[in-house]
Amino acid sequence: MEDNIKVMYEKARVAFATVEFWSQEKVDEMVLAVGWELQKKETAEELARLAVELSGLGVYEDKVHKIGTKVRGTLYDQIGIKTCGLVSEDKAKGIRTYAKPIGVIANVVPCTNPESTVCCIALGTLKTRNAIICSPHPRTEMATYTTVEHIRKALAKVGAPVDLVQCIRHTSNEKTQELMANCDYAVATGGAALVKVVYAAGVPAQTVGAGNVISIVDSTVDIPTVAAKLKKSKIANNAASCSSENAIAIEESIFDKMIAALKAEGGYMCSTEEREILRKAMWPDGHTLNRDIVAKSSVYIAELAGLKVPADTKILMVMGEKIGREDRFSGEKLSPVLTVWKWNDFDEMLDRMEKILKFSGEGHSVNIQTKIDERIHKIGLRANVSRIVCNMGHTEANSGGWTSYLGFTDTLGCGTWAGNISCENINWKQFLMYTRVATPIADYQPSDDVLFGSYLKKYGKD
């Protein structure tokens, strides 16, 4: 029967049993076969076209580029990594560590990245000898299904069991919940609302959180360079990514010059009246983001709202007014709409940042543009986020890029701040368990001096 979850799971278990004790060499050959198939220009173009046509989200050219970059980056991050058998041995401590796969993993796929998310997760699960069953978003079933078919084609080419990667053909909430409940583990990429649903399935799970990136810009930067950098990052794939900048906080002394530079890059600053018109179009009921504006161009959004903007407008800008539910512009917008804040005291701006993230985006990411390392250090201490991108466009680095080492992924853990179990860029690391074997070593019980020396020296033994 088509989409019989029990049957799919049983097939996955058989495939998993086949590769469970494969050598590292054999596993790596399988992974490279899949990676080669996915990064082919014709494959990337097919998957990007399907993703954009079915979802109505994003930009085709950006999708093609993203698929190639994410696949090659994910492969690069895995080079030389041991994931099979004995992966490390510390003879001095008498500890041997053996890597073990988890089993069958449910992969809940978002409509924003129905193809590249599967690419990244599949390369990680195959590297770790796990099987996955994908549950696509209803709007982008064929994009995810086709991605899986390409993976299965590559698996067959090298003699690997094709049922290591499967996909629900006709998805539903009920099938997704059944899948998660019956698999050994789940990984779900999507909004914050998904977290509770996933954990309710009762299996260990990797989830993600909402993004609401604030880019703090100070007076030390080269203004035109930063404006161009942020524009490029903001409009990538029509801001479909949770890593897109949602706000820019500009130091007061360069505020006018930075706004002028952003306008030169295609930014349009809405008046107070235009801001209100845009707000009503983006949140018609006052609190739910209008899905018709998600990952659409700024010109399209302006026309939908009834605003007249230049034909070459790339970003719609609004001034930030309040923080929280009474001003939704302070939250995530998933569109080329940028909220602008002004500041003159860095510590006060960090306080404001914390309030904004508490409302939306805590645990995810922030951005800073500065030449003052002390400010980078301070935001590193203060921001309750998993990633801080410095002096780069956020989308080019946050989920993997060739100018940073944060790690390639489409699935960004946001830590306990967002109800996630990991604050890492999700890759092969999250799909392994380890068995540690202890062998006898010389007794190493410490003396009081080793344990309490500094305390005893200051306070004595009384």
Full strand arrangement of the beta sheet holding 385-390: 267-269, 315-319, 337-343, 245-251, 213-217, 363-369, 385-390
| pLDDT at position 193 | 75
User: What's the predicted TM-score (pTM) here?
Assistant: 0.94
Question: How confident is the model over 424-447, as a mean pLDDT?
Answer: 96
E strand or H helix at 85, and its extent? strand 85-90
Tens digits of per-residue pLDDT, 41-86? 999 999 999 999 999 999 999 999 999 999 999 999 999 999 999 9
Does one domain contain both 374 and 232? yes
Domain with 317 in it: 213-404
Does one domain contain both 433 and 294? no
Question: How confident is the model over 414-428, as a mean pLDDT?
Answer: 95
Does one domain contain both 143 and 267? no
Percent of the chain with pLDDT over 90: 96
Does one domain contain both 194 and 230? no
- Give the pairing type, strands 85-90 and 95-101: antiparallel
Does one domain contain both 230 and 354? yes
| pLDDT at position 298 | 97
Tens digits of per-residue pLDDT, 262-292? 999 999 999 999 999 999 999 999 999 999 9
Does one domain contain both 276 and 324? yes
| pLDDT at position 192 | 72
Tens digits of per-residue pLDDT, 131-161? 999 999 999 999 999 999 999 999 999 999 9
CATH number at residue 104: 3.40.605.10
Question: Helix H segments across 170-240?
Answer: 173-182, 193-199, 223-235
Kindly name the residue from 111, 119, 167, 242 that is annotated as catalytic.
242
Closest of 357, 344, 317 to residue 212, by C-alpha: 357
Which tokens is 94 given? Answer: 């008498």
Does one domain contain both 158 and 273? no
Which tokens is 275 given? Answer: 């801001």
| pLDDT at position 322 | 96
Within 8 A by CB and 6+ apart from 362, the residues are: 209, 384, 385, 414, 417, 418
Closest of 251, 215, 220, 249 to residue 232, by C-alpha: 215
User: Is residue 270 among the annotated active site residues?
Assistant: no
How many independent structural domains does the chain possess?
2
Q: How far apart (Å, rounded) are the C-alpha atoms in residues 236 and 396? A: 9
Which tokens is 192 given? Answer: 């914050």
DSSP string for 253-268: GGHHHHHHHHHHTTEE
E strand or H helix at 269, and its extent? strand 267-269
In-domain check, residue 193? yes
Does one domain contain both 149 and 52? yes
C-alpha count within 13 angstroms, C-beta hemisphere, residue 116: 32
Does one domain contain both 219 and 158? no
| pLDDT at position 2 | 76
Intra-chain end-to-end CA distance of the chain, in Å: 75
| pLDDT at position 381 | 98
CATH number at residue 398: 3.40.309.10
In-domain check, residue 195? yes
Question: How confident is the model over 422-432, as a mean pLDDT?
Answer: 96
In-domain check, residue 397? yes
Does one domain contain both 197 and 239? no
Tens digits of per-residue pLDDT, 160-199? 999 999 999 999 999 999 999 999 999 999 877 788 888 8
Return mean pLDDT, the chain: 96
| pLDDT at position 139 | 94
3-state secondary structure (DSSP) of residue 385? strand
Does one domain contain both 268 and 396? yes
Question: How confident is the model over 346-373, as a mean pLDDT?
Answer: 98
In-domain check, residue 455? no
In-domain check, residue 295? yes
In-domain check, residue 417? no
With 60 as the cut, is the pLDDT of residue 1 above it?
no
Tens digits of per-residue pLDDT, 120-137? 999 999 999 999 999 999
Closest of 121, 125, 117, 115 to residue 150, by C-alpha: 115
DSSP code at position 41: H
In-domain check, residue 459? no
Task: Please write down the HEC assignment for all residues of 313-364.
Answer: CCEEEEECCCCCCCCHHHCCCCCCEEEEEEECCHHHHHHHHHHHHHHCCCEE
Could you tell me the CA-to-CA distances from 52 to 55, 117, 238, 297 in Å, in that order?
A: 5, 14, 11, 13
With 90 as the cut, is the pLDDT of residue 401 above it?
yes
Does one domain contain both 309 and 432? no
In-domain check, residue 246? yes
